[in-house]
Amino acid sequence: MPMILVTGGAGYIGSHTVLQLLLAGYNVLAVDNFDNSSAVAISRVKELAGKLAKNFSFVELDLRNRAALEKVFTNQKFDAVIHFAGLKAVGESVQKPLLYFDNNLIGTIILFQVMVAHGCKKLVFSSSATVYGWPKEVPCTEEFPLSSTNPYGRTKLIIEEMCRDLYCADKNWKIILLRYFNPVGAHPSGFIGEDPRGIPNNLMPFVQQVAVGRLPSLTVFGNDYKTCDGTGVRDYIHVVDLAEGHIAALRKLDDPKIGCEVYNLGTGKGTSVLEMVKAFEQASGKKIPLAMGGRRPGDAEIVYASTKKAEKELNWKAKHDIDDMCRDQWNWASKNPYGYGRSGDSPK
């Protein structure tokens, strides 16, 4: 089976993808600097993978450490790279643009240079629906005009452009850019999930921390949008479906016709903030106290994906609905109210 390098493999989406890759029979080497993740995620993935954990290894490194990355590529030949590693907090990127440009852009350039030096030119990259900015209409198709409203989004746009340029210059590259919508939920075992540092920026990690009593209430950012109930609408996708989307993308990289292609990974369905909160309350049996607040600067009104291209060309479709996402989010939250901070459980 192919050997895959996963950057950012200890992170939220990375850890779930590493597990699905192992379960699908792939060999995986993951790297991460644990800037926004924990080594506990790696040991939990190994436990969940059981005997297949023998096909998994991990190296702690920062992608900007060229010598360390060179060593990994010298010791191991890779068939493809899935590149998750990056910083992703929109607000922080506005405060610290240079940190985001340094980490996300320099890290990616060094990765690509080392890949070229070792003859590995197959890549799956984590892009984001953020590149659609405030879409004029929905569903968002892959051909929509692209824009960015913050430095984080700009790093995604720049890396997408970098990938298109790489392919233009050298047709041996095979690149799939995956634009994720709103990944939520956790592995159904409840042993891996999202564990953001500090106060969460995103809706579901925030709701989860209210449910376990770490935060008093959820502030709803705007209830005067032109939507079913006035609150923002997004396309939430179960993280395991998203992980499976990466396996579909890896398979697509074997298509001789593939060059540099982009696919949305979403469900194609929009859900409002209040609908999401209600579904989570039902799944958890917990009441989520709400405070109505103003709109968050930069937030779009309605964003959801057209999933046609991924369904047709990747032969992939999200299977889980909002109730599944909330059930698995709560399972993770209730078993790990402090994320990986208080470990010791075993997935048995």
Catalytic residues: 152
B/e letters for 125-153, b = 16+ CB within 10 Å, e = fewer, are bbbbbbbbbebeebbbebebebebbbbbb
Residues of span 48-77 touching ligand NAD by CB under 6 A: 62-64
- Is 325 a residue that touches ligand WQD (CB under 6 A)? no
Minimum separation from the CB atom of position 79 to ligand WQD (A): 26
| Residues 271-310, mask of contacts with ligand NAD (x by CB under 6 A) | ----------------------------------------
Tokens of 26: 């792939």
Measured from the CB atom, is 136 or 257 closer to ligand WQD?
136
Residue 13 interacts with which of ligand NAD, ligand WQD, none, CB < 5 to 8 Å by class: ligand NAD
Query: Which residues does 217 contact at the CB level (< 8 Å), separation at least 6?
Result: 210, 288, 289, 290, 291
Measured from the CB atom, is 88 or 174 closer to ligand WQD?
88
Question: What region does 321 belong to: left with phi over 0, alpha with psi -120 to 50, or beta?
Answer: beta
Query: Which residues does 57 contact at the CB level (< 8 Å), separation at least 6?
Result: 28, 29, 30
- Is 220 a residue that touches ligand WQD (CB under 6 A)? yes
- Is 201 a residue that touches ligand WQD (CB under 6 A)? yes
Measured from the CB atom, is 126 or 272 closer to ligand NAD?
126
Cα 93 versus chain centre, distance: 17
Q: In the set 4, 5, 6, 8, which binds ligand NAD (CB under 6 A)? A: 8
Q: Where is 68: in which H helix or E strand?
A: helix 66-75
Task: State the DSSP string of 205-269.
Answer: HHHHHHHTTSSS-EEEE-S-SSSSSSS-EE-EEEHHHHHHHHHHHHHHTT-TT-SEEEEEES-S-
For the chain, what is the radius of gyration of the CA atoms? 19
Piece in contact with ligand NAD (CB under 6 A), picked from 11-19, 69-77, 142-150, 211-219? 11-19
Residues of span 2-41 touching ligand WQD by CB under 6 A: none
Site residues (vs ligand NAD, CB under 6 A): 8, 10-14, 32-37, 62-64, 84-88, 103, 107, 126, 128, 180, 182-183
Site residues (vs ligand WQD, CB under 6 A): 88, 90, 128, 130, 182, 201-203, 206, 218-221, 232, 234, 273, 296, 299
